[in-house]
Structure 1
Amino acid sequence: MDHYPPLIRPVNVVEVPYLDGVYDNGDFANYPTRRGINVQALLNGDLQHNSHNQILEFLQTWFFFGMIRDFVEVDITATDFVKTDENGKKFLTTKRLPVYLGEWRVRIEKEQKSTDENAMLQLMQQRERRLESFFMTSFNHWKSFRPVDADSLLDPPMRLCLQLLGSLLEFTVSHLDFIDLDRDHTPWRCPTTCENLYFPADLALQYYASLLDPPGSSIANPQPRGHRTCLYNHKSCQAENIDPVTYKTLHTEPSCNCTFVAVDQDVVRSIILGAKADEHGIPLVCWTPGEDITGLEVVPFEPGMKYTVLSHVYGNNFRCVVIILIPSAGPTKPIGWPPVARTNTKIVVKSATFGSHHSAERNKTEDGRKTAIRSMREIYTRARTTLILDAYLCQGTGYARYEEKFTRITVAGWQRRMWTLQEAILSRRSYVQWSDMSELIHPIGDLQLGWKQRDVWSCYHNNVGCAKFNFATSAMVGIERPALIYNMFHQMKLRSTSKPIDEAVILATLLALPASTIRLLQDIPDLEGRLQAMWTALLDPGIPSAVLFLAGNKLSRPGFRWAPKSLTDCGFASMPNDFRHVVTPRITDSMFVGVSLEQPGLLVDTPPKRPTSLITCRLEGDIYYIRRSKLIEDDWKDLDLSKIPRLGLLLAQNPSMHASGRQNLVAAVAALVAVEGEDGSELRAQWLRQVSIFKAGSRFDIAVDPPWRPEEIEEKTRVVEASYLSVRQPWCIT
């Protein structure tokens, strides 16, 4: 999601006319009975002496007003949810809904404070059962009225309205415990992120709405969806076309008018490090938008000015100092975090938080000011990245312009954590955003069978209408965890703005690993250490063995030489889709020594002479070539296979079988290992290289890619013997 934030108005506003219905504030499920309408007969086309408009009014009153009333458990006023335009027409609105939901939350919080633990548990269970019944009932009725033909009783705008309402209510009660919505200033996330996540429905529903096609759109009459068509507002750049190093959008045409907001980092550095106390005072910086370019301007010190430095110091090599400029006319009532108010008066900076997370508001005296300058510059000296934000960007939510959101990601690495957390919310709701659209993910099983017991019981509406999003993972419903991990790894290549050091955190978040694991990954500064911790967490209960056959650089640490160093850089053309074999951790004397798996393979004799990139072997009378991976530049320069007593080959997939029962191998992706010993039937081996094996004379030999090199042609004449192992050969790989 970090590259594709919610857009303000991706399609025209969908307005739903108010049909003058007044809800009786009774029970939701029994409302049709109170109105004297048989729902089943209505679904069969019997309007029961009512006009079509009367039925529309009944459905709107029941679904829209009834859902709100049954959720908040207080009587509602219809006028709170109706707006009137300049022409006197009335439309539905949810502008007052946050007030009702806020009061609902306050009631729950009061219950928690005034009730003992056992009684509180009973109340919570009763509320969960009631809400589960409510959401299931409303969802099933809503689903019954989904369009099956052109004469559907619910028109597209009303359907969309009800789905978003149901989604919003579900988000309101969702358990987001692993994100800790307590606004605690822990080092692994920004406090502003906590505030944004405190009302997750706002961000997520804007995001959903930005991806939904407008009612009535079709293949014959497509509508643009933001940058997805690269034509939104006549923009001529690809939003997905992003430089992987700078995170800056690459323009496809010189005349691109997307007004991408960026800042010259050299200018930032010169301002921060070069500002003198007697010239500029504290080097606070603000945006200075112009017609052609957006620049930076130093804000001079004024007597009585207050200021803040919000310092985020992470253990992952992203050290960042954030300067927040907050325009204010003086003390104001706090609005969220940080406390902000926007007027046309001078700039005043209100609160201060430093790397040790202690608050400080400096004195108005000159001595206090100089002390502050020294403290701030000490932080600047240690900072590797400096992010400059004005108040709009700092408190920006989904309403911020696309360019503003993207700027956050461009100028500071730590801000990507914010998007990862928002992506986690989508993941908990079973959506994952990749580089061009979102996908539906069902990690454990069917929704109706209790999938994600802790919170998905309240997510019926969020799982409706996902066919338009779901293009690659529909077959994932009900699959086991190793297959899900395999799919996640495979889809990582679709992310357009991820760097290798982010991968561990992203995967841990998407796979809903415990919060302690995510925090641990955030605190590990080096790439290999972070990935080792991630693989350790994923190995229990197991990962697909297909991961071992990803072409690319591997970790160098003992026990993890099989583990990819970067998923986005792997050659996914080599990744088999056979995930029947599972890799689990091998623990010896309470120490992790490697991984265990059952995988088909070969034993290969030691070559008489050191090969450069090819081993020729005879397998049951046929000649085979074991060749270095074509997807990475690896000439085995640091590998002398002639000194290894016994070699082995792990095959990524089972060979085909002759009618006689013997194995028949034509070609396969494989892993070359050094066999170090045996424990019963298990072979203990050290992972060496990603290779491929193919039969001489096969199409893989005739059309070999890349072409045979001269030294390989010579090596083809040196033949060693090889033999099949069992298709379920036990291995311990270090």
Structure 2
Amino acid sequence: MSDKPQHRPPTKKRHSKLQRLLCCSSSSSAVLSPFDVHPPTSASQPIIGNGVALKHRPHFIAFDVPRLTTKTPYDHSEEGFWDFPERAGWMLDGKAEYRKFPNGIDWDTKELDERYQCRQQSIPKADASRRPPDSLNLKCFRIDGSDTSLSEEVAFQQAWLFFGVVAELSVISGASAVLAAEKVPGTQSEMKTSTAVLDTLHLKWLNALKAYSADERDTRLKRMLQVVKHVLSLQTVISTQKSDVEEPRLLTYEECKVLLSIRLLFRAILLTLALSGGCDLTELQFLMNPQLQQSFPANWDELKDFSIDEMLANGWCKSECKLLEPMDGCYNFFATRLTRWPMDHSKCNDFICRADQVNEETYKTVHVEPHCQCSVVTVHPEDLCKVLDKGKVPRIIISKDFKLSMSESQPYAVISHVWSHGLGNPNENALPLCQVRRLKGYLSGLQKAGEPDLALWIDTLCMPVQANLKEQRKKAMGLLSKTSQEAAAVLVLDRELQKLDDQRISMLEQSMMLAFVGWTRRLWTLQEAALARRLYIQTLGGPCEVENSKPPVDDKERLTSDISFRENIESLMRDRIPPISTLRKSVFEKSATMSVTTTALQRLSFTVKHRCTSKMEDEAIILGIILGLDVKALLDAENLDDRMSKFLAMIREIPSDIIFGNVERIQQAPYRWAPRSLLNFPIFNMQSFGPPAICDSRGLHARYQGLLLESASHAQADGGKYYACDQVSGMKYEFSIRENQPDFELSDTPALIFRPFFIGGDTVVADIARRLTEKDQTILEVKVVGYLQMVASGGLDITDRRILKGSLTEKEQRWCIT
């Protein structure tokens, strides 16, 4: 059997035009910008076989890619794609001597190894051993043994794995002639390309394949699949990642973009194969994740670092960068391609964005147009109060001449908005006439055929603001859970989302914008979204329904979502606005090694992360509304601490690890263990191994192992360290004082409480107030006075140190933390 694919090689004339397609400048019309710049005709209206323009949403976020200088550009030789590296003077780990697949996966590539001669290459040990460390997974070596720079390697990969792969796949699919004949704006001299072309390639490949018989199409799909397998199976781990070495070779930002464009190309190929209907989806999913997901490389530090710098320079918030921290650096890079509303983030931190905070004393309601001076339309407070006094949800009917009337039974839509965008009014229940007109138009867009006209609920008109109506305002707040749940729809108005042309941008771009706009950063909007039966965002093209509660269930949908980068962002959105059913219950999971409880508070803690409210005393009320609690007791509480204390007592089930978080805490007993706010609470501390802790009027009831110290009253740290020993087992411990905490000293009856499974070495220093006995079990009632970090344990040599002696408790010792 020949080691070359059995097809007619392309001519140089045909490929010179194809090459011109891929090397064109994209500095003007070829780049997709979120709002004011649209993709070129060739990207937004691909031509199908009968000459009809086919409109489609792109799958990827486009960006410019430089064409790197290389001595060996792809040659389009009749000898084919497979042996190009050897013709260009390069060799790769074809023989798999150094190859190691992700997660130890065993991947059978025997068919490829037998078919293609290039897969018999062997890398000399001397070449492999002297290769400098870098983050590339696909390692390149010169056949003549000469040293190469990282830039040369990346340029070769671009020539072969971008331009070469596009040429090869276009020949296999039969689309070369179509692509070569297509005219694209730009000049070759600018030496740039745009990844926007990838959003048309997969369609053209699919259309070209339709011209073949079923058997021939299957053969060509198999050959396309072989190209993917060949490249992905050459990934190696000869050298270490950047983070593991002191002086690695580092990629430049432009080189990062080139490698990302290659990843996008291979995703476009997998998208073609997935949509063809002729490939095994399970195999494609394996190629997508983990193979492609961890190649070219993935999770590489350089791209993330460059992108974060660009994000911050382009007006993104530190908290948004932090939210993307666990994700692949490509998401940070895609964020740099989005245009953001200019805001002042100088007062923000890693967890809280304060750019949308408002000052009611200086607040001004805005008109639709800056110079509009139309009249104000007002809701009479007495009309509001009549409905609220009946325990009904007030809703506003807007007449054809834009006058407002009150209803307590009309179907209605809730308008969810951000006050800093100008639709609020702290002084009266009123809005400018121009805004009322616009809202009526939005309501019409939500109305389905045969449905009655929708009334309106918006806090500006439906929540009493007058100082003498505080009790009625409390009634309105007590109805907020019902307000969102009973609405026919909840419509999100956000100034950034309203500029999105959702017919021309990718679903990925729309999802990323939704994940990071001001509406998603606010705490009050969370309950409106989480409780909504139908959730819409208002875009440039009208209302767009958001389905954030369910992951894709169809195998093809799940795969295409993964290929187009959407799944991770949409999963983030499901965490940010989870289904209300999952928020309101605890889930107990047990494995062979441990049992874990996920409480409603844990889910809330992650959901509210990176959100904020202008009035922090509102936090407990909002959380109570989301969980469906009776918030009257919270509304009657005098201050923030009282509200949070009552909220915690109402939900009862608390993750036991809550006492180890290094945050500002409530100052009154028996809630001194509790954070004053969940908004800045580190999520990794919110865990509950075994049953959850229980909060009641006596404190937090939980189970931990601890060390009860003897004769340790007022003991001082030894060089910033404490040393302790269990007198029964002889186990010794070394602790350091946790940074950024107030000074503390050991009491007359001290105890150390260990975090379950000693996670992070977190240790609480407690003062034992008393010992209680319930059902033949001893309960230690304690007050937290400080925090330590366990840095070592075992047979330590600490004979020259002051050692605190004590005795270990049972692993399931009961405690009451006050």
Please indicate, yes or no, whether the TM-score normalized by the shorter chain is above 0.5: no
Length-normalised TM-score, structure 1: 0.38
Length-normalised TM-score, structure 2: 0.35
